[in-house]
Structures are given as structure tokens and as C-alpha cells.
A and B are shown apart, each in its own frame.
Chain A
Amino acid sequence: MDAAKLEPGEIPTTILHHLCEGECQTIDQIVNALGLTHRQVSNGAGKLILRNYLERVEIGCYQLTRDGLTAKHNGTVITSGPWRPDTAGTRKPVRDTFRQRLWTAMRMSGAFTIGELVMAASRDDADPENHTGRYLRYLKAAGYVVELPVRAKGTHQTSNGFKRYRLLKNTGPTAPLYQAKRKSLHDYNSGVDVPCNKPL
């Protein structure tokens, strides 16, 4: 089969629906029957084994499991998406990121504007003002940062000035991490997830 024309998951799906109940087939048999290469069969079988649909009876000889038979009867189509629930915990904090540098600068400052933070924390980051604004909105929604009533004066003719902020919850040295999926801010310092679902 021409690999360029295959959809992700097409080979494991083909193998799943090719094998029959109680039948153990070798790689060669599957290669001959489906017109695949050895490598394609081996990789496809690997994906089925991950999902517990296939078992290797001996080297190069495959048989459907009970789950595999059920999947075959249900007409399951293997896709490239996740094959089990994402139960991973929170990522480990990364030390030298732009947001970490922003957080450090915030902890050292009293009131601050986006520009002041960018000046302290930016290195060669792309669009640092936009990035800083977004991070501050997450922190504000989670109650870590408060927007001050008086803005810093701008210089452009139509400028509304620059918002000024103050860090209210200085919980520790590690920058809180925004988790888009959970709509929360994970604070490594206190170990808690703070909901962050107010309109941003």
C-alpha cells in the first residue's frame, strides 16, 4: 500500500478487520493478504497492541484479544487521536521561560505596566507585549493580580494610557501555569489549581 495515500490509523484498522476469531496469523501471511510491507504490518500491529486489541502469541505471530474481537464487531476505526484518557498530572515547572521571568519581575515590583515587565523580562521573545497581556489576564481572572484604577499616561494622541497592575498573591518563586484544558491556573508554590474561568 502506498504510505502517502493512507489515512492515519488506516493500517491498524485494516489489520483489525482482517484477523478472525481464534486465528493466529504471521506477519508474512498478513503481508500477502493485505499487500502491506513488513514494516507497515509491524507498526500497525504495535498500535493495536497498545490499545490491547492484539496480542503476540510468538515472535511475528498475532492474534486478536477479547477487546480486539469486540472492537472488530463494533466496527471500530483506529484514528490518530488519543487512545486512553489523559490522566497525566501537571507538567513540571520549566525554569527559564518568558512567563517565569515575568513572574520574577512582578514579584520585585510594586505597581507595574506591561511595558515595564517586558523591559525586565524580554529576551528574544516574539511579540512580548501581547504575551504579557495574555498572562496578566489569566492572573487577573484567578485573583493573583489586580488592575489599578489609575492608568499610566500614554504619549500617542488617542492613547487611553497604559493599565497598571499590582501583584496581590505573591505565593512563591515559581510562575503559576495556565492550563487551557482545565481553565485554571496551577500554582506550583501552593500546589493548588485556581479556577480561571472569568471572561478574559
Chain B
Amino acid sequence: MKNVFVETSNVKRFLSALSALEERGAQEACLVVVDGLPGLGKTTTLKHWVAQNGCIYLRAKKEWTPSWFMNELLETLRVDPPHSFQKKYAKVLEELATRQGMASMERRIFGLVIDEADHVSSRAAILETIRDISDMIELPTILVGMGRVNDNLARFPQVASRVSQKVRFEKATKDDVRQLVRSRCEVPVADDLIDFVLTVSQGFNREVLEAIANIERFGLRSEPGEGGVTVADMAGLVIVNDRRTNQVIKVPGAL
């Protein structure tokens, strides 16, 4: 499989949300919520964005307290955490503001990404700390979750009002699947098989990639026709595992 990052419609919506964030009206509204079911490409997108922009990435823990969160943030910023919470808070603001200033001089976006935010999205103390940091230096803060973040935030209007952009990662469209197959698969694939991949994957990127690997394995061993590997070529072969039943799905004889 080719090691190429593919800009699917979800990635494009994420990037446009960040652009919109820069042009927001209310300056204090700098929270972005990225939500969606597992396997839709959230982590891959975020990993690519963080690696390219040098942002701060934290993975929320179930038992996070404000102090633990501050300590992790300070460690990521390479600062020895002071003892008192007050000093930690001041130090975090100082460090983040310096980095944000440097990033703006280099004309790149700088932000704080908190992955697995479902763990903290119903905890007022952590959310208030995040809001305070984000408000004070107008730092874009991206909360990444698996479907519950938006609903949980609704209980905290003072935080929810700071959410400037909501990006919901949706299931891949036919164009997304075609783009993924064309960009990443090392063998040509016919349209009927792409349609079948969309159906069996139910639009989940993880399953689409699994199907691409199986198609590639077959295509590299046989000689596909000019139009690429078709459904008929792969009849009877495993294409993907069903995530609900954990049963293999095979390509039927003909559609």
C-alpha cells in the first residue's frame, strides 16, 4: 500500500474548520470539537496535522484531575511543574503564549489537541481549566472524541459557547472511497469493486484500508485486466471482516 495521506471530505472539513477558526468573530470562542465513531480517520488526520504543524498533543486519561492535566501539559512543554496549582497555571500560560507567538511569526497555526476527550467532556473541573487556558491566550484547542463530546458539553453552557467549530467525522462517501483506493492501492481497481468496498465497509476508513490490502494482495499475484481488479476476479475471496459480527465478508460471484 502506498504511504500517502489522502485528503478525504472529512479532512477537508477539518481543515476548513481551522481556517474558519482563524477568522472567527468572538475571539474567546477558540474551541474546536472533532467527533465521530471509531475508524473514520480522526486520529490519522490529527496525527498528520500535529506532525506537520508542531502542535501540542495530549491524550486524556479517564482519571485526569486538573493538576494531573497541568503536569502532563508542562512535561510536554519541557517545563518542570512547580508545586502549587497557581504557579503551574501561570507557567502553562507563559509557555503556550511564547510558542504561539513563535508560530505566528512563522505563519503557522499553533494549538492544543486533546485526544480521547470523551473521558473529560463530562468533568466540569477539567473543562473549566481548559477553557481558562484557551480564553486567556486565545489558543485554538481541539477536543477529539468518539461521539459524546458535543452532547456532554451541552451541560456546560459556559464551555459550549466557546466552541466555535464542530467537525463531525462522517462515513466515507463513494468519492472518498474511490480517492482512497486510487491513491493508496498499488493495483488498479474497477468501479464495481470500489462500489462493493463502499457497501461492505459501511464507509469506515479502517475497513476500506483492510479491503485495499486484500485487493492488493490478490492483484499483485494475478494479472488484472485493463480496467483493474473486478468483483468477478475476486469472487469467493475475503474482502473484509464485519466489525459487528466479526465474520469474514467474501466477494460474491457476481453483483
Contacts and interface: CB of A to CB of B under 8 A. Distances in A.
A pairs with B? yes
Given A121-B51, A156-B220, A172-B78, A115 B1 contact: yes
Contact of B47 (A120, A123, A156, A174): A120
A122 interface: yes
B57 A108 contact: yes
B50 interface: yes
Contact of A118 (B3, B54, B78): B3
B78 A104 contact: no
B3 A155 contact: no
Nearest to B6: A119
Contact of B76 (A114, A115, A128, A173): A173
Interface of A: 95-96, 100-102, 104-105, 107-109, 114-116, 118-123, 128-129, 153, 155-157, 172-174, 189
24 contacts: A95-B54, A101-B51, A104-B57, A108-B47, A108-B51, A108-B57, A115-B1, A118-B3, A119-B5, A119-B44, A120-B47, A121-B51, A121-B52, A122-B3, A128-B3, A129-B3, A155-B186, A155-B213, A155-B216, A157-B220, A172-B75, A172-B78, A173-B78, A189-B78
B221 interface: yes
Interface of B: 1, 3-5, 44, 46-48, 50-52, 54, 57, 75-78, 106, 186, 213, 216-217, 220-221
Nearest to A103: B51
Across the A-B interface, the 5 shortest Cβ-Cβ residue pairs: A155-B216, A115-B3, A118-B3, A105-B51, A101-B51
A129 B4 CA distance: 11
A155 B47 contact: no
Contacts of B51: 101-102, 104-105, 108, 120-121
Nearest to A102: B51
B132 to A, nearest CB: 23
A157 B54 contact: no
A109 B59 CA distance: 11
B4 A155 contact: no
